[in-house]
Chain A
Amino acid sequence: MKRIFSSLADGKGFDIALIVFPFAFLFVMAGLPLVYNVIMSFQEVDMFSLGSFARPFVGFKNYVTLFSQPETWPILKNTAIFVCASIAGQFVVGFGLALFFWTNFPGASWLRGLFLVSWVMPGLVVGAIWNWILSGDFGVLNYLLNTLGIIDGNIFWRSDPAYALWAVIIANIWLGTSFNMILLSVGLSAIPKDLFEAAELDGANAIQRFTTITLPMMRSTIGAVISLGLIFTLQQFDLFAAITSGGPNNASNVTQYWAWELSFRQYDFAQGATISVVMIVFVMIASIVYVRSTRHEVRG
């Protein structure tokens, strides 16, 4: 007993304890549900067999069913559009803001902190606010676009199938921009100032400095931001629930919302689990990119 205690206090025991607790936590809270979800995607699950683990094994039947449904491909396409447009928007606006605040004008860090407010707000609240902004009849966005002469007449952002998905994308870009900006700001400030001075003396103009110093030095940060962005957008559920509920007629439905609908609205747990497994594959790819890009940090 004394030996165990002393090894905990100053020996290997402490190191092992530090590793065991997070691993146990991860296994119970993340690992088991993940495995359970994968197993469920190969089983026949209904309301009656929900309570037992030993359910009939059906092989790839759930997958075959999933991909034979008419709405599957449009929803996957929506997901791809949602992810790509959201990440692109968040990254471009976030990088622009990060570069802007990097100039360090008076009050820059204070103002940058304020931007985090958007990230602190609950998704449902953000969704409610954007519902008002995007509202077809009295929305501010329509008013603005009309006044500027960009559109003629109102766009019904949330109920027009052509715009419903974009309504959520706009809200999501707003929601994720500050996170992108903060991470990119950190990456920018980690670049030693004298590299830019050296490049300037070497004859590089502002654009050349950006492409030959800033961007390559930011590679690992950019990789991390984009892969985290992919994970966060694939998680984005609140905005769909608050703004369009996936409608009209699945025009703005994406896999993460659809999985919830199937499992908890239609109680088709097997189909819900199957979609989740498809998503796990994408998140895995993003995670690998994230781990690899943070591992190859380039620092002098």
Chain B
Amino acid sequence: MSNQTDLQIALTAVNKHYGAYHALKNIDLRIAKGSFVALVGPSGCGKSTLLRSMAGLESITSGDLFIAGERMNNVPPRKRDLAMVFQSYALYPHMTVEENLTYSLRIRGVKKAEAKKAAEDVAATTGLSGLMGRYPRELSGGQRQRVAMSRAIIRHPKAFLFDEPLSNLDAALRVHMRKEIRALHDRLGATSVYVTHDQIEAMTMADHVVVMRQGIIEQQGAPLDLYDRPVNRFVAGFIGSPAMNFVPAVAGDDGRSLLLDLGDGQRLALDRPIAAGRPLIAGLRPEHLVIDPTGAGPIRLRVAAVESTGSSSYITTASKPEIVLVTNGRSPVAPGDMITIGIAPQHVHVFDAETEARIEMLTG
């Protein structure tokens, strides 16, 4: 492992048990130097446990953890040289901003003047210069967040670990900080591991997204690869907003179409052959569905509800299961209207109804 110097963090077959509970199952993950990796998944999927295992706050039961080429399984957190930004920020309430920033330096015995200088430099880049004498309780949520970030930056650690750092901020600030964290990552040339339950955060910030569920990695890859080719129904439903529509289906007799179970035998063309007979699930992204004004599209359904945000409209159909589609601008239809919906064949995802795995192409 040590010869792979471009790897900053590497996990091989990592397992974590809490008594009988199997929290992490055979995790294999390679994090390249300078990359921004997002761990994403629903709550309880093990993403925070995985992050805390890297930090050393949780011990791993089996497997290997390498940081910068060194095996770190039993190394205490303080010797791993990783910095973590906590969801609660975990600022030291009895210390001023400056003392918070210089804590790690003072612990390491850095001279007072030197630590002060380092704190001032970091504060200047994160916009905290005027707040050095304040206590955390005197800061706003966004300012606390910046202190937490600065406290990590000042150490020049091997990697930054973020544990849902934006979830305590309001929506507008969250969007802003998303960009700021990413810009900071690029400027420092840092390696970052970012835990979030918000797939938009993961998609927009990361180079490499790891989707987890129930302690296993369901899929990992570049954000748009996950969007374009989700390996199973779970990833397909998790990545993308609004979520993908799933419709029970069977392959048509011609082997190149899908019969959707939406009431009355709706047929969708495919751009690839598929074996007939077995139960399938069609995955249709709301943004790929288009209303066909000529009425010639393959799917005819009644509109149940229209929600408009101004920039786009969310149209929900009265079918079972209901279909959500997104159109730009004002909605051309109203509740009660009949609409015909079409979709380009290459945008139709097909999953096995039983295993829920993606079916790419099945012949014979």
B83 & A201 in contact (Cβ 8 Å cutoff): yes
CB of A6 closer than 8 Å to a CB of B = no
B90 & A197 in contact (Cβ 8 Å cutoff): yes
Interface residues on A, range: 20 to 34
User: Which of A197, A200, A217 sits near B94, CB closer than 8 Å?
Assistant: A217
Find chain B residues with CB under 8 A from A96 CB. Answer: none
User: Which of B76, B103, B137 sits near A202, CB closer than 8 Å?
Assistant: B103
Which residue of chain B has its CB nearest to the CB of A195? B90
Provide the bound-state CA to CA distance between A199 and B103, in Å.
Answer: 8
CB of B107 closer than 8 Å to a CB of A = yes
B93 & A198 in contact (Cβ 8 Å cutoff): no
CB of A106 closer than 8 Å to a CB of B = no
**Which residues 195-224 in A have Cβ within 8 Å of B in the complex?**
195, 197-205, 208, 212-213, 216-217, 219
State how many angstroms separate the Cβ of B158 from the closest Cβ of chain A: 12
CB of B142 closer than 8 Å to a CB of A = no
Interface of chain A: mostly helix, strand, loop or mixed: helix
Provide the bound-state CA to CA distance between A300 and B138, in Å.
Answer: 9
Find chain A residues with CB under 8 A from B57 CB. Answer: 197, 200-201
User: Which of A204, A217, A299 sits near B78, CB closer than 8 Å?
Assistant: A204
Provide the bound-state CA to CA distance between A270 and B99, in Å.
Answer: 55
Which residue of chain B has its CB nearest to the CB of A194? B90
CB of B91 closer than 8 Å to a CB of A = yes
A217 & B93 in contact (Cβ 8 Å cutoff): yes
Interface centre among B82, B83, B84, B92 (most CB of A within 10 A): B92
A198 & B84 in contact (Cβ 8 Å cutoff): yes
Interface centre among B77, B83, B90 (most CB of A within 10 A): B90
CB of A192 closer than 8 Å to a CB of B = yes
Find chain B residues with CB under 8 A from A208 CB. Answer: 107
Known A194-B86, A197-B57: A202·B107 in contact at CB below 8 Å: yes
CB of A298 closer than 8 Å to a CB of B = yes
User: Which of B83, B91, B93, B107 sits near A204, CB closer than 8 Å?
Assistant: B107
Interface centre among A199, A203, A204, A299 (most CB of B within 10 A): A203
**Which residues 76-116 in B have Cβ within 8 Å of A in the complex?**
76-78, 80, 82-84, 86, 88, 90-94, 103-104, 107-108
CB of B247 closer than 8 Å to a CB of A = no
Known A197-B57, A200-B57, A203-B104: A216·B84 in contact at CB below 8 Å: no
Provide the bound-state CA to CA distance between A24 and B202, in Å.
Answer: 63
Provide the bound-state CA to CA distance between A74 and B107, in Å.
Answer: 47
| Interface size of B in residues (CB-CB distance below 8 Å) | 25
A201 & B82 in contact (Cβ 8 Å cutoff): yes
Find chain A residues with CB under 8 A from B55 CB. Answer: 197, 201
Find chain A residues with CB under 8 A from B86 CB. Answer: 194, 197-198
**Which residues 326-348 in B have Cβ within 8 Å of A in the complex?**
none
Known A197-B57, A300-B136, A300-B137: A202·B93 in contact at CB below 8 Å: no
Provide the bound-state CA to CA distance between A192 and B87, in Å.
Answer: 12
Provide the bound-state CA to CA distance between A49 and B294, in Å.
Answer: 114
Interface 0/1 of B145-179, CB less than 8 Å to A: 00000010001000000000000000000000000
Provide the bound-state CA to CA distance between A242 and B71, in Å.
Answer: 64
**Which residues 163-205 in A have Cβ within 8 Å of B in the complex?**
192, 194-195, 197-205
B77 & A192 in contact (Cβ 8 Å cutoff): no
A298 & B94 in contact (Cβ 8 Å cutoff): yes
State how many angstroms separate the Cβ of A219 from the closest Cβ of chain B: 8
Interface centre among A192, A208, A300 (most CB of B within 10 A): A300
Provide the bound-state CA to CA distance between A38 and B85, in Å.
Answer: 59
Provide the bound-state CA to CA distance between A203 and B107, in Å.
Answer: 7
Find chain B residues with CB under 8 A from A200 CB. Answer: 56-57, 76-78
Find chain B residues with CB under 8 A from A198 CB. Answer: 84, 86, 90, 92, 151
Provide the bound-state CA to CA distance between A190 and B94, in Å.
Answer: 14
Find chain A residues with CB under 8 A from B90 CB. Answer: 192, 194-195, 197-198
State how many angstroms separate the Cβ of B338 from the closest Cβ of chain A: 55
State how many angstroms separate the Cβ of A215 from the closest Cβ of chain B: 10
Find chain A residues with CB under 8 A from B108 CB. Answer: 203
B78 & A195 in contact (Cβ 8 Å cutoff): no
Provide the bound-state CA to CA distance between A199 and B92, in Å.
Answer: 9
Provide the bound-state CA to CA distance between A219 and B83, in Å.
Answer: 28
Provide the bound-state CA to CA distance between A244 and B84, in Å.
Answer: 59
Find chain B residues with CB under 8 A from A300 CB. Answer: 91, 93, 136-137
Which residue of chain B has its CB nearest to the CB of A204? B107
Find chain A residues with CB under 8 A from B151 CB. Answer: 198, 202
User: Which of A195, A201, A219 sits near B92, CB closer than 8 Å?
Assistant: A195
Interface centre among B76, B88, B93, B151 (most CB of A within 10 A): B93
The 3 A-B residue pairs with the shortest CB-CB distance, nearest first, are A300-B93, A202-B104, A198-B90
Q: List 6 A-B contacts (CB under 8 A).
A: A198-B90, A201-B83, A203-B104, A205-B78, A217-B93, A217-B94
Interface residues of A (CB under 8 A from B): 192, 194-195, 197-205, 208, 212-213, 216-217, 219, 298-300
